[in-house]
Amino acid sequence: MAGKPDIEVWEPLRFLLGSWSGTCSGKPGNGRVERTYALVLNEQFIQVSGRSTFEPQEKNPDGEVHEELGFWSYDQIRGVHVYREFLAEGFVNRYVLESHDAAKLVLVTEAIENLPPDWQARTTFEIHGNDHFVETFELRKPDGDWDCYITTELRRAGA
């Protein structure tokens, strides 16, 4: 029976907790990002909420606002961190934490809702200390190579 996770379960992700802001660039153009990570529901989950705003520009003449809500959990049966990401565009990504160390986290999807079958997404966090990280989001079509969609650079609010 599942109980409150051991505090060490969150160690690879603990640096994320708090509020972040920064910039992003990629296929939708250039934008500003605000994001928060918080332990919720008896510390069973880490909730992620974020908003990226892309002003009108040549790459994206109408601009756009991208919103996300996500939850990290720890699957005790499989012994793996799982991230479920819900995007305002209607996509739902279910990632597993494939690898992690003090400098990098790599998540790869095991399921994506609302994309053709066999597409994959990968998100890599390059950690530059407690107050700075760079996140790269990539997509891969079936039988294709990884293609960078967007890169985000975030700094801890107030740091």
pLDDT digits (tens, 9 = 90+) for 47-71: 999 999 998 888 778 889 999 999 9
Q: What's the gap between Cα 79 and its chain centre?
A: 20
Burial classification of residue 146, based on how many CB atoms lie within 10 Å of its CB (0-12 exposed, 13-18 middle, 19 or more buried): middle
Domains in the chain (CATH in brackets) are 7-156 (2.40.128.20)
Q: Are 108 and 85 a contacting pair, CB within 8 Å?
A: no
> What is the per-residue pLDDT for 146?
97
The contacts of residue 42 (CB under 8 Å, 6+ apart) are 4
> What is the per-residue pLDDT for 8?
86
> What is the per-residue pLDDT for 1?
47
CA-to-CA distance for 136 and 153, rounded, in angstroms? 9
CA-to-CA distance for 144 and 36, rounded, in angstroms? 33
Ramachandran region, residue 25 (left: φ > 0; alpha: ψ -120 to 50; beta: rest): beta
**Which pLDDT band holds residue 3 (cuts at 50, 70, 90)?**
low
> What is the per-residue pLDDT for 98?
96
The contacts of residue 158 (CB under 8 Å, 6+ apart) are 19
DSSP string covering 53-106 = EE--BTTBTT-EEEEEEEEEEEETTTTEEEEEEEETTS-EEEEEEEEE-SSEEE
What value does the mean pLDDT take over residues 8-29?
Answer: 94
pLDDT digits (tens, 9 = 90+) for 77-133: 999 999 999 999 999 999 999 999 989 999 999 999 999 889 999 999 999 999 999
